[in-house]
Structure 1
Amino acid sequence: MPLRTAITLLAVSATALSAQAPDPAALMRRSREALAPIQRIVGQWEGDARAWEGPGEPIAVRQHEDVVFGAAGTVIQIRGTGRNPQSRAIVFEAAATIWFDPQANRVRMRTHRDGNSVEPEIEIRPDTIVWGFPVPGGRVRYVIALTDSTWHEVGHYERSGARPIQTIEMHLRRTAPPR
């Protein structure tokens, strides 16, 4: 009798859980809809960028961004590489993933660089992506302005009561359409 009761309870629990599970097709549709406002970022981009690592002149790089849909169009994967314009040596590499989180009902982002990762706050506006995260003494904030053929990104270090300090600026052009 105890084994039969356990099996019955297990079957009832499994049925209840499966009834609560989200419909995979509906979840994929919601994910794609949430990413639709920024789908124009998908493609290959290249252009000039400058990065400030402290006082003085910025470092100039030739920046390439490869952006693809992944997981059946439910995530956007970004891979950025900055190279020295003369030697072509890599001076900057980063990666990011943007996805819709159904439990939180919002778009999320995770970035990776130099062995570190952070999950910044992300705000999607028409033709603009704003993302940033806290750092000691303030926060870092990036604004990406997009058109079908251009990507202009500016980053700042912000401290309370002080003028923002520019950390990066990229002027990219689409070099290949989405794959």
Structure 2
Amino acid sequence: MRRLLPVLLASAAVAGAAQAQMPPDPAVRIAAQTEAMKKLSWMDGTWRGPAWNVGPTGRHDITQAERIGPLLGGSVKVVEGRGYNPDGSTGFNALGVISFEPNTGVYSMRSYAMGQAGDFKLALTADGYTWEIPAGPMTIRYTAVMKDGAWREIGERIVPGQAPVQFFEMNLKRVGDSAWPTAGEVGPK
């Protein structure tokens, strides 16, 4: 018995260490992520409205369209934005994936637009959200407000010591529901 006791204790210690190194239960994390995404459920569906931006060639007016929906059981949100030129061609196209990290309580967005990609913190506000892109000595800040069924988002260039300069605005109305991005999924047979 004296010889067996150290072996049993060592086995218990190894099992305890292995248990401590096990990843967290995915169901718990996914449930927390899904619950957090409910705060952005107002975005789901299709949206359209006027938008403009100011670039090197001056002001450019477009019709902005967004389609947004949950994926992975509602634990992430997928966003596609298209800016249509007056002739109907696509002048702007972007894709974003919004997620929530339960360990830190932080929302983030992975964005792809204009040949660029990045990960950005998304901060929820009482009536929308903000997100920022570091751009050298300046910051690009987007502020979205959802009010009375309308989604207004502006973009501003912020240089330290100077007033923010607005370069983008979209004013969208909800057009309807969308089964995107889950519609058309490939089944097992």
* Superposed pair shares fold, TM > 0.5: yes
C-alpha displacement at 1:119, in angstroms?
1.3
TM-score (norm 1): 0.84
C-alpha displacement at 1:70, in angstroms?
0.7
Q: Distance in 2 between matches of 1:163 and 1:110?
A: 28
C-alpha displacement at 1:30, in angstroms?
0.5
Give % identity. Answer: 26
- The root-mean-square deviation of aligned C-alpha atoms, in Å, is 2.2
The match for 2:61 is 60
Alpha carbons 2:106, 2:122 under 8 Å: kept: no
Alpha carbons 2:96, 2:112 under 8 Å: kept: yes
The CA deviation string for residues 25-56 of structure 1, in whole angstroms up to 9 with x for no partner, is 22122101212222101110000000111474
In structure 1, which of residues 29, 37, 44 is the aligned counterpart of residue 31 of structure 2? 29
C-alpha displacement at 1:75, in angstroms?
0.3
C-alpha displacement at 1:76, in angstroms?
0.5
The CA deviation string for residues 80-110 of structure 1, in whole angstroms up to 9 with x for no partner, is 000112x101111111111012343321111
The match for 1:110 is 110
* Number of residue-to-residue matches in the alignment: 168
SS in 2 for 1:52: strand
Amino acid at match of 1:49: A
C-alpha displacement at 1:130, in angstroms?
0.6
Listed as ranges, the gaps of 5+ residues in structure 1 are 1-7
The match for 2:43 is 41
SS in 2 for 1:46: strand
SS in 1 for 2:24: coil
Amino acid at match of 1:37: K
Amino acid at match of 2:46: Q
Query: Is 1:101 matched up with 2:101?
Result: yes
Q: Bigger radius of gyration, 1 or 2?
A: 2
The match for 2:81 is 80
Listed as ranges, the gaps of 5+ residues in structure 2 are 1-10, 180-189
Alpha carbons 1:75, 1:98 under 8 Å: kept: yes
TM-score (norm 2): 0.80
Query: Is 1:16 matched up with 2:19?
Result: yes
Q: Distance in 2 between matches of 1:121 and 1:54?
A: 27
SS in 1 for 2:55: coil
Alpha carbons 2:46, 2:66 under 8 Å: kept: yes
Q: Distance in 1 between matches of 2:15 and 2:125?
A: 45
